[in-house]
Structure 1
Amino acid sequence: MPEGHTLHRLAKLHHKQFAGGVVRVSSPQGRFADGAALVDGRVLVKAEAVGKHLLHHYDSGLVVHVHLGLYGKFTESPVPMADPVGEVRMRLIGAGRNGEAHGTDLRGPTACEILVEPEVAALEHRLGPDPLRRDADPDRAWRRIHRSQRPIGALLMDQKVLAGVGNVYRAEVLFRHNISPYRPGAQLTREEWQALWFDLVDLMKVGVRRGVMVVVRREHDHGAPSYAADRPRTYVYRRAGDPCRLCRTPVLHSVMEGRNLFWCPTCQQT
């Protein structure tokens, strides 16, 4: 599932391409036809992201909410666009303030729906603070973390606690701060939480800027290749059984609350 930096990157792109202009919205697949008709021909005011949620705000006050889930993806295309290929849930065509026309197709999202502003506010209220938003309050997450006996590895993935963090950032930020994913949240110090938060802010900003998750410090970015040819190196994510880049202990793997977990038992002692 795409992590928060991907949604913020999409929001920046869509805001640049479409905001300030009339957008033609359709649903070639048909599953979003009624919603598309409500915003078709309206002006897109802004695109923004909150955690793993993308929001398109229109001048009518209606908002298109997209959650990509595991399989959702936007495909950018030149205009005029070719006939839709596959199950296109939503197609956008428009020109933003610079007058240059753009098009994009959305396929396979978990959610693509119309919301009104009170529903958007309710969505945001359900989510924890997003490290990529200027209005984020890390103390909101801290208040839940330091009262919880759940492991910090689970809390970081709970979108009600912290919005936008996924499996890669969870594994890597805990390694970078020598914290076991199994340590109960209540045993985390405030100083440790603040260090985790500010590191997530920095790492995720790099993700927005570069489009990939860069998590290994420059002095450690050598040796064994990444788990995939098109991804930067990681410390522990998807490296089960491989030697830790720092101490050479084999990286461990388990499943925590239904999600794959990777960590070094030497560098991340409870």
Structure 2
Amino acid sequence: MPEGHTLHRLARLHQRRLAGHEVSVSSPQGRFAAAADRLDGQQFAGAEAWGKHLIHRYRSGDMVHVHLGLYGSFSDGKAPLPAPVGQVRMRIESDDYGTDLRGPTACELYTPEDLAALTSRLGPDPLRKDAEPDVAWGAISKSRKAIGALVMDQKVLAGVGNVYRAEVLFRANINPYRPGASIDRGEWDGVWADLVDLMAVGVRRGKIHVIRAADDHGAPAYGPGRPRTYVYRRAGEPCRICGTTVLMAEMVARKVYWCPTCQPD
């Protein structure tokens, strides 16, 4: 599932390419047809993201909420776009730019009340200027749940996925199984600051980069075209820092990775 930096990157792209333009909106697949008819010909006002959720705004006050889920993606190009290929849920075109949405978990009209309900159940997003890290700290500092589960809980912290979870905890030398209540304020402030910096890099580059320059050597990345990681998808391989074998386990139905030496119990 795309992590928060992907949605913020999309929001910036759509803001830059569509805001202020009257757009044509359609649903070649048909599942968004009624809403597309309502939006067609309106002026696109802007786009923003909260965690893993994308919001498109129109000048009329209409909004569209998109959650990509596991399979959703946008593809874009110069307008007019060619005939749609595959199951295009929503197509948006301005005079010179177009984008197709395929396979999202959600693509739906939203009211202000819907948006308020969504944001009220999300934790602070490290990529938003209005984020309040104290809110996440309040939840973490009172919890006996594992910190590795808490940072992936969108009600605690919005936008963090499995890669950032594994890597930011490694960089902070925090074992993912430590209870949230065992994390001190200094450790949390460091994790938050690191997420703010690393996720901003992800927005700029379009990929997750987490390796410090001094450590960016040795064993290759876990997949073609992927930047190196410290522990994510490196189970059974030596830690890049100390050489200890990287471990993997299941935590809340997701794989968690850590180095038992660099991240002691």
- Say yes or no: does 1:51 pair with 2:46: no
Q: What is the match of residue 179 of structure 2?
A: 184
Query: What secondary structure sits across from 1:121 in the alignment?
Result: helix
- Equivalent in 115, 122, 126 of residue 121 of structure 2: 126
Corresponding residue for 1:84? Answer: 84
For residues 93-117 of structure 1, the C-alpha deviation after alignment (integer angstroms, 9 at most, x for no partner) is 014xxxxx10010000000000011
- For the residue of structure 1 that corresponds to 2:170, the secondary structure is helix
* Residue of structure 2 in register with 1:269 after alignment: 264
Q: Deviations over 1:117-174 (max 9, x none)?
A: 1211111111000000000000000010001000000000000000000000000000
Cross-structure match for 2:35 = 35
Please list every run of 5 or more consecutive structure 2 residues that lacks an aligned counterpart in the other structure: none
The whole-number CA distance in structure 2 between the counterparts of 1:140 and 1:43 is 35
Query: What residue identity is the alignment partner of 1:265?
Result: P
Q: How does 1:12-31 map to 2 (within 5 A)?
A: 12-31=12-31
Corresponding position: 1:259 with 2:254: yes
Residue in 2 that maps onto 1:197: 192
Cα deviation, residue 78, structure 1 = 1.6
2:163 paired residue number? 168
2: CA distance between counterparts of 1:43 and 1:128?
31
Is the counterpart of residue 235 in structure 1 residue 230 in structure 2? yes
Structure 2 letter corresponding to 1:232: P
Query: Aligned partners of 1:65, 1:23: CA distance in 2, in Å?
Result: 17
Among residues 123, 148, 151, which one is paired with 1:153 in the alignment? 148
Give 4+ residue runs of structure 1 displaced > 4 Å after superposition.
none
| Structure 2 counterpart of 1:98 | none
AA of the residue aligned to 1:48: E
Residue 189 of structure 1, CA deviation: 0.3
What does the per-residue CA deviation read over 1:165-215, in whole Å, with 9 as the maximum and x for residues that have no partner?
A: 000000000000100000000000011000000000000000000111110
Counterpart-to-counterpart distance in 2, 1:77 and 1:239? 36
Number of residues of Structure 1 aligned to a counterpart in Structure 2: 265
Distance 2:224 2:68 in 1: 24
The answer to whether structure 1 residue 219 and structure 2 residue 214 are counterparts is yes
Moved more, 106-115 or 116-125: 116-125
TM-score, structure 1 as length reference: 0.97
Give a deviation string over 1:220-262, Cα, whole Å, max 9, x none: 0000000012111000000000000001111001110001111
SS at match of 2:43: strand
- Post-superposition offset of 1:23: 1.2
Partner of 2:64: 64
Q: Secondary structure at the match of 2:97?
A: strand
Separation in structure 2 between the aligned mates of residue 138 and residue 163 of structure 1, nearest angstrom: 11
1:67-98 CA-to-partner distances (Å, cap 9, x unmatched) read: 00000000012212111100000000014xxx
Give the alignment's TM-score, normalised by structure 2: 0.99
Task: Give, in whole Å, the separation in 2 of the partners of 1:37 and 1:65.
Answer: 16
Q: Secondary structure of 2:85's partner? A: coil
1:32-81 deviations in Å (ceiling 9; x for gaps): 11111121111111100100000001111111000000000000122121
**What is the CA–CA distance in structure 2 between the aligned matches of 1:236 and 1:84, rounded to whole Å?**
40
* Identical amino acids, percent of aligned pairs: 64
Alpha-carbon distance between aligned partners in 2 of 1:155 and 1:38, rounded to the nearest angstrom: 39
What aligned pairs does 1:88-107 form with structure 2 within 5 A after superposition? Answer: 88-95=88-95, 101-107=96-102
Aligned equivalent of 2:245: 250
Who is 1:111 aligned against? 106
